[in-house]
Structure 1
Amino acid sequence: MRIHPSWFLVFLYFTLSAKDQFETLLNGQASIWNGWVIGASTSSLLFLSVLLHELAHSFVAIGEGLKVRDITLFFLGGMASLEKECPTSKGSLKIAISGPVVSLLLAFLMILLSNNLSVSNFILSNLFKQVGSLNLLIGVFNLLPIMPLDGGVILKSLIWYFTGSKRAGIKVAIGSARLISFLAIFIGILSLLRGNFYLSICFSIIGLFVFSSSKSQSQIIQIQKILSELYVNQVCSRSFRVLEDDLPVKVLSKYSSFNKDNFSNEVWILLCREGRWVGYVNEKILKNISVQNWDKKFLYEFSQPINELPSISEKESLWKAILKIEKTKDGRLLVLSFSGLPLGTLDRVDLGKAVLKKIGLNLPDQLIKIARKENIYPLGLNLPNIAQSMDSSDLI
């Protein structure tokens, strides 16, 4: 379990808030230490409540055969990080609904306990009432149909169950979040017109935050669709050279400047003999040979098997290519045809360009050149995380 630093601010806030309320109820007759104890007790029970909420998610996930990486508690909530998403709609629904059920059950029990103690112990009664109300708020808030809240996952799972399409469930959940964001913004504007500035600011911020979140989720879904529909042979380039293996190594000196101007990696030089592929070299071997011997040494003497290069089939989906590229040292793959012959190369820039072009964004040559030189995805696209989420959620 991990505790995010923001949780300590929440702990301090609720401790001070509960302390002040307690002292107000007793008209300042309680000691300072009693106030701090009640405040800290309130925050501790809230901490325990949030932890139980996340443990409920975790135990149900384990029951569905999933591994839980960790639990993180942060500002007014928590998150149980699963190794992968549940592959079934029913399992996903059970995992999502378990947290709010626990929070609502805790709220019911604490409010019930508060009512029973209202006469015999006013202080404990008020403490349980506050924590019970907070659990009720946590439970109801998490049931809002907004991704990634539990309510959004519940809605997604229900649509997934009835339609058989997980993607359809996500789209409906995103649409629901946008509707709620517009409603919150509308209430914010209405509150402003009625002179309630504070309420207006709160609802407007919530509405804008939810809208931004839903827009981000929508963009991720769009990119996932692109990565699953495009194939390697549709986006690969040809960033290699082909030479006869009986040429002197001096010929490699031609490509050194090409490498410095455009790539962070060495150029792959593929070798052939009488029309057959026989291996590869790169210009780095020149560093180990004196200039006087460049005409006396031949490429075949330094040839390495082509199958040692990281490669991928031309008909693999882009999301699989991304996962494979991220496991390579140079962030580059040799694309092979059905017959196993070199067809082209694929790097992070090729993948980023393809995705952005599908979205409708054509990058200027200067940005492409910079990204290729640094061997990064253009515009900081986080394609590895998106591809990883597709792999773990089976959203293909």
Structure 2
Amino acid sequence: MANKKICIFSAQHLPHMGGVERYTYNLCKKLIEKGHEPVVVTSKIGDLPNFEIMHDTRIYRFNCYPFLKGRYPFLKKDAEYKKIISTLENEHFDLVIVNTRFYRHSLVGMKFAKKNHIPCITIEHGTSHLSVNNKVLDYFGSLYEHGLTMLDKKYCDHYYGVSLACNEWLKHFHIQAKGVLYNSIDVHEVEALRKNKCENYRELYKISKEATVITFTGRLLPEKGIPQLLNVMDEINKKYKDVYLFIAGEGDLEKMIDQRKNDHILPLGRIDFNHIVALLDDSDIFCLPSFSEGFSTSVLEAAACECYIVTTARGGSKELVINQDYGTIIDNNSEELLLPALEDAIDNIDKRKKAAKLCHKRVCEDFTWDTVESQIETIIENGGF
């Protein structure tokens, strides 16, 4: 296929870290590798510039109001907005990709595509309404999301999920997805980083090879099940003296996690991808007890590093961990379910290792950016379908 130019509207992008941001970054990286030109349109949060070139990709940032500590950027239609839109309209894009439905930013991307007669697809990354852990605010937030999605559907007809679970969630809004553009991973990059580790976390924290290391990586938010994981870890350490929990990431719960740290609960804060791979390579079990998820990049990274997966039946993880031979999927993140699941993984070392190898093989075969990039090319050829 001849080189194509693709405009990606994503309300948040690097250096802000999250699953959608990593999805966009990795997709751009693969598109560039295949000779295409991605352009990212995102939000200006903090001291970031309105325009820069990052990782060989042009990044445009709308000024915004950073609601919910930046979790929900609400763009401003100011002079800078008009300048960016004018710049984009002077280019000839072959496809517009909108990441997620529920931002004003997303609607702008859809309208931009329709006005300029560019095929447009929207990629769904969630399996539940956005939550701020306040029932009243969550209720009104869900009403807002439904209203915004009704507008979305007037401007974009083609929706894809990063997992089949996301496609099921789209049905809640009476949207029939066209297909799946799976969240994926660069397994070759992970393997190279594992061979040339930048850190040995067991040595650094004086943890023996015989001890069991559990790890969580990702955004430190209540919906990720971190309070439940910490409570369960306290119970585990009453029974096991050689089990450790690393928590890597940043978010609303940083202070709470720091207050809970002890000899066996070890918060690391935000670490870069090289160190995430090194940490996972030193880990036995990866635990994500989330109650809201699309398809966690962290789960894919853990599987690529041959960790045993313990997670919930939320989002796409169950499409990777397809049965108990591949890992453990629990119905929800209640402590009553999480505790025995982790104890079973701790006790059954052989089962754990066999499952980790099966899951690693499945990631390498079925969840790669080459596959997603090829699907994007087909979508362009078919005008959005």
TM-score normalised according to structure 2 size: 0.28
Higher strand share: 2
Bigger radius of gyration among the two: 1
TM-score normalised according to structure 1 size: 0.27
Q: Which has the higher contact order (CA 8 A, sep 6+)?
A: 2
